Structure 1
Amino acid sequence: MDDATPTRHRARKILGRASALYRSRGKDFVTEAVDALELGFDGIAQDRHGGQTRLSGGREPWYRRGTEIRNERQLSLLSPAELDEIAESLGIAELRAEWIGGNMLVEGIQRMTWLPPRTLLFFEGGVTLKVDGDNAPCRLAGRSVAAHCPGEEGLDLRFVSAARHRRGLVAWVEKPGVIKRGESFEARLPEQWIYSA
């Protein structure tokens, strides 16, 4: 048995800012800009991804599709720099957060999609979000991008590979309240290591 202790990276803090906020209306996947997000333990009220629980889908092949599970995907956080990288990779002029169901555009954190699970985001106004992990790109988002860029062939499929590890994060509400557009936050990254035993 290998008793080697894994290399650990200390916990640390990074500052960021919610430069734009979005929410969906009803069942629509595409979001629209708002000045503030009122968040409860169920996420954004009446948002497509709101709720304390959700139904499992293709991301959870270990459950029968439609099984009720905890909703760790209440909010979708995106980076403008990563959206620009995806757009460049796809050969399109722009990729807007609204097209792919984004709820928050985050500035100030490099390679935001790589923030580790369990990172806590403490907002100035008192809200705390907990990062579940990266948001794996899907064809639903790809179809939305294709619909907004008519004449571009195969965007729905190309989006999935172009957005891998750049699609942002999903998070859930640990402490409710209101987040306002332009509000700053402190991201507290947990101690990290790679389990290899």
Structure 2
Amino acid sequence: MAELIKIYEENPNAKDIAKVVSVLKKGGLIIYPTDTVYGLGCDITNNSALEKIAKIKGVKLDKANFSFICEDLSNLSEYAKQIDNSTFKILKRNLPGPYTFILPGSNNLPSVFKKKKTVGIRVPDNSICQAIVNKLGNPIVSTSIKDEDEVIEYTTDPELILEKWDKLVDLVIDGGYGDNVASTVVDLTTDTPEIIREGKGDIDL
């Protein structure tokens, strides 16, 4: 059964963050708040945890379009190929924020993603996930948690999330009510930026 842990975004408790990181390092799955919808995540370096998320989502891992949640842009060169100045300026202007940027993947991608030519990078404007990634020391792989409800696409109440995901994940973070609008997805792999999905936030391209 999953554990529910309350963490306040204004001042994330270091002990609680350490507990979350411990779960991730052991290959556990967490559900956590972002600056948009709640996400399902695991440690990017843990292949068995990545397999679990792919299975839950019903996709093959090497074809999965998961986002990499980073604390800031310092991880960028690890996972994305050399990016030009104008692309970097777009990232700098909009991050942290409710955006997923698709970039050309580098050769340093974790082995399970080696076949992928692109990578989705997220730097959410949320101090809880920033603190988790900081303490973990590397990005977490993430995907939004969808709801079967036809009216509400994303569950926003952490207690309802716990009820639904209780047997699938190890820990649910209650960071308050989430949003029900996902991130805006922008493709930066060509010369002209292209908005793939309109979501939260006004993008400055």
Instruction: Report the TM-score range of the alignment, normalised by the length of the smaller protein.
Output: under 0.3
The TM-score normalised by the length of structure 2 is 0.25
Structure number with the higher helix fraction is 2
The TM-score normalised by the length of structure 1 is 0.26
Which protein has the larger Cα radius of gyration, Structure 1 or Structure 2? 1
Structure number with the higher strand fraction is 1
